[in-house]
Every structure is written in structure tokens, then in C-alpha cells.
Amino acid sequence: MRRYETVIISDPDLSEEARTALFERFKEIISQRGGEVIVLNEWGTQRLAYTIKKKPRGFYSHLDYCGTGKSVDELERFCRIDDRVMKYLTVMLEEDTTPERIREEIARKAEAKNKPPVAEADVEDSEIDPETAASESVEAEVHDEKPEEVVAQTTEPHEEE
């Protein structure tokens, strides 16, 4: 199977029930064609760069799924003929994958995001030589200066004859 993502901009005036029914239809189309929806993110109502169907806003949603070309074709056909969908864009992310592999990848990313940052105490306890650290900080200060200041410090003034 291939991994796809589709970003869909739907009518912002839809009720919550109508929007839920629309998303359920997306999931049904993909599963009927042998695919599987991994994640459905609702990004909410956002201002559009330009008006679409005389509307300045749209409801953005992101669909991450595995499927075949037939499932993408049917999903895009449905988006073209349904008036609730204002715009859509589908991109293939991976050529050969499985839903389990994608779920593992998402779990790893979520775990990495939740790890606590390195505390300053951990850095102070590390095996860094204080003299080396001091010389490195002096070098960093020299490199942070403006080029004119460095040139002025390294050249001697010329005496005019």
C-alpha cells in the first residue's frame, strides 16, 4: 500500500453533524477500496488566502491514510462533486508502507515530543573542562563581533608621511 495525505477545505458554515457525516464518508470511501485511515486531524476554521465560492474562510482538515490509487481516485471524485468541499489536495508520502509502520512512526514522534528538555544542571555535571569551555566562549565572542571591529582591532593605524 501507499501512504497518502489529503488536505481538505470544507464549507465553514456546515453544522458539526454535517461535518462529522462528511468525514465519515471520507473514511468509508477509503475503507471500501481496501485502504485504512490512520489519522484525521481537524485544523479548524481559517482565513483563506483568496475567496472560494464567495467565502473568505474555510474549515481545514488533514487526512493521513494508506490505500491504493483507486481509493485516491474515488476520494477525489467525491470531493469534486460534493458541494460541501471547497478545495482539496492529495500528496503521496510513501511508496510502500503498512498502517502498522505508520502508527509506530507517529507514536515515536509523539514520544520524542513529550521527552523533557535537557536541564542546565545536567550540562554542568557533564565532563567538560572549564578551561576549554572558557576559551571556546572567548572565541565565540570574537566571532560575534562585526567585521569592521575585528579589522580595527587587528590592524595598526598607518602613519602618514
The string of pLDDT tens digits covering residues 20-29 is: 999 999 999 9
62 φ/ψ angles, rounded to the nearest 5 degrees: -125, 125
* Structural domain includes residue 47: yes
pLDDT at 106: 81
pLDDT at 132: 53
* Structural domain includes residue 102: yes
Domain count along the chain: 1
* Structural domain includes residue 153: no
Considering the chain, what percentage of its residues have pLDDT values greater than 90?
Answer: 49
CA within 13 Å, CB half, 80: 7
The alpha helices in the chain, defined as continuous H runs, are: 16-32, 69-81, 99-114, 120-124, 130-144, 147-154
CA proximity to 3, closest of 85, 87, 71: 71
* Structural domain includes residue 17: yes
pLDDT at 32: 92
pLDDT, one tens digit for every residue, the chain (161 residues): 899 999 999 999 999 999 999 999 999 999 998 888 988 999 999 999 999 999 999 999 999 999 888 999 999 999 999 999 999 999 999 888 887 888 888 888 888 888 766 555 454 555 555 555 555 544 444 444 444 444 444 445 555 54
CATH number at residue 100: 3.30.70.60
pTM: 0.65
* Structural domain includes residue 106: yes
* Structural domain includes residue 159: no
* Structural domain includes residue 144: no
Q: For residue 25, give its domain range.
A: 2-114
* Structural domain includes residue 60: yes
